[in-house]
Amino acid sequence: MGRLNGCLIYDRREADDRAATDRARDWRDIHGSLTLDEQREQAARCMDCGVPFCHGGRALNGMASGCPLGNLIPEFNDLLYRRLDRAALGRLSLTNPLPEMTGRVCPAPCEAACLCGLNQESVTIRANERCLAEMGFGNGWLKRIENNGRRGNIAVVGSGPAGLACVIRLRQLGFSVTVFERDDRPGGLMMYGIPNMKLEKDVIERRTAWMEGSGVRFMLNTEVTDVDALSGEFGAVALCCGAREPRGLSVEGSGLDGVAFAVEYLKQATKAVISGVAPRLDASGKDVVILGGGDTGNDCAATAIRQGCRSVTQLEILKEPPRSREQSNPWPEWPRVLKVDYGHEEAIALQGCDPRVYEAATEAFIGDGGKVSAVRARVRGEAREFPAGLALLAMGFVGAERGLVRAMGLETDERGRLRTRGYESNLRNVFVAGDMRRGQSLVVWAIREGVEAAEAIGLSQP
């Protein structure tokens, strides 16, 4: 545990984010940081709670409760509090190969299951992870993996969180690894699906450079559609390509210019930030309507604001969540309560109102000269039109990309996920991990799947 009665001595404290009106002018990280001594105080709040639900990693009522990676959270918090920082990072790294990622973009189901959360605010587990990861890179504690790969060669297709986690574990198990990535930079949706202000891309580049130093070979701008072509060179193939088939909307006007999938919009926006490539989909001077009230929709709102949109509206088909937990949603379930995320804060600060409209069912996209000009929706039974020069579909994904699956001869279930026995697909020595197998989920679940798929490959190889 941390400090005796630490949860009673110290209040939960998080670093202040940069002011919404300031950060909306740039693409830098929105978050601040506490001093190291202040972060140690936060680690001191971790209780000797006997049964730490925080690292349970189970599903309760359809949502994650506790860390799916099984991170030994009380142990690394205690070590951080006692100034045994390198040992704390080592304990964290036993279960989490990418703590700098989860410390930034994970929604922290561990904190939702923290026992402190029963009657006060939970421990700042995610911020503690980020602190340890940054100390690890800053002090050179993350030693590169050195082995001769004598166990054979493995191909990993896709370099998102599942792919990168799989690679690291494979190297630890003694394999040589080659990563095939169809984009021009590794990272998958962490690179091009999460905006820079939420996950700065040098964080990904730092990790992939560490991996290259550990003997990993990245083949970029390389799309794999035939796993048989890899079988001669590699003993096994791990497919970590994600669930990237976006959910469409079949209503009038869906083919108009300016109606686009959120994932493509975010990819173009990120490329513009890091490479200077002008995006075809640009919110500058436009009214932007986003269909979908989740994290991706919020990211789109924040991106549109930075591009200089005239206004942003986010249509959510569900009811507005309650402001506090209801009896039907008890601890340690994930709290289904109203969340004001960073993009919503920025919209409120700049346009004076929350961009979200609840119980809104889109009925049609209205066009003018072949371009979208408005979105017609029924809001709580009333017909309304929202001006739109850009309409973004952020309604999630429906499984692995169908063309890729068909080309590879892979079997899927009714939800578009690949069928597996354990982690092995219907093709011998072809393994699957992450959203491609699980369906759209959290980064932390993808990391767990990548690690477990690597271990399954290790057991299958001589």
pLDDT band at residue 1 using 50, 70 and 90 as cut-offs: low
CA separation, residue 122 to residues 7, 11, 33, 118, 335 (Å): 9, 9, 18, 8, 12
pLDDT tens-digit profile of 109-135? 999 999 998 889 999 999 999 999 999
- Are 335 and 345 a contacting pair, CB within 8 Å? no
* Other beta carbons less than 10 A from residue 20's beta carbon: 19
**Taken in order 167, 171, 172, 174, is the CA torsion positive or negative?**
positive
Instruction: Name the class of domain 6-16+24-138.
Output: mainly alpha
Query: 188 in helix, strand or coil?
Result: coil
CA-wise closest residue to 128 among 30, 8, 2: 2
The Cα–Cα gap between 221 and 91 comes to 36
- Are 142 and 136 a contacting pair, CB within 8 Å? yes
pLDDT tens-digit profile of 270-295? 999 999 989 999 999 999 999 999 99
> Would you list the DSSP string of 267-321?
HHHHHHHHH-PPPSS--TTSEEEEE--SHHHHHHHHHHHHTT-SEEEEEESSPPP
The pLDDT score that the predictor gives to residue 19 is 97
CA 164 to chain centre: 13
- E-state strands within 127-273: 153-157, 176-180, 217-219, 236-239, 259-261
According to DSSP, the residues that pair with 379 across neighbouring strands are 360, 382
- What percent of the chain is predicted at pLDDT more than 70? 100
On the question of pLDDT at 2 being above 70, the answer is no
Helix axes 342-351, 295-306, angle to 10 degrees: 40
Mean pLDDT of 81-102: 97
Delimit the domains of the chain by residue range.
Answer: 6-16+24-138, 153-244+399-460, 259-393
The Cα–Cα gap between 223 and 242 comes to 14
The pLDDT score that the predictor gives to residue 25 is 96
Domain 6-16+24-138 identical in fold to domain 259-393? no
CA 189 to chain centre: 8
CATH dotted code for 259-393? 3.50.50.60
The pLDDT score that the predictor gives to residue 419 is 95
Instruction: Name the class of domain 153-244+399-460.
Output: alpha beta
Lowest mean pLDDT segment, chosen from 249-263, 339-353, 404-418, 437-451: 404-418
Mean pLDDT of 147-157: 93
The pLDDT score that the predictor gives to residue 148 is 84
H/E element, 390: strand 390-393
- Are 53 and 113 a contacting pair, CB within 8 Å? yes
- Amino acid in the structure at residue 55: H
The pLDDT score that the predictor gives to residue 259 is 98
**Block residue for tokens 């197998």:** 437
Whether the bond into 332 is cis, omega within 30 of 0 = yes
pLDDT tens-digit profile of 297-337? 999 999 999 999 999 999 999 999 999 999 999 999 999 99
- What percent of the chain is predicted at pLDDT more than 90? 88
Mean pLDDT of 1-18: 88
- Are 155 and 234 a contacting pair, CB within 8 Å? yes
Q: Is the pTM of this model over 0.75?
A: yes
- Are 245 and 402 a contacting pair, CB within 8 Å? yes
The Cα–Cα gap between 112 and 48 comes to 17
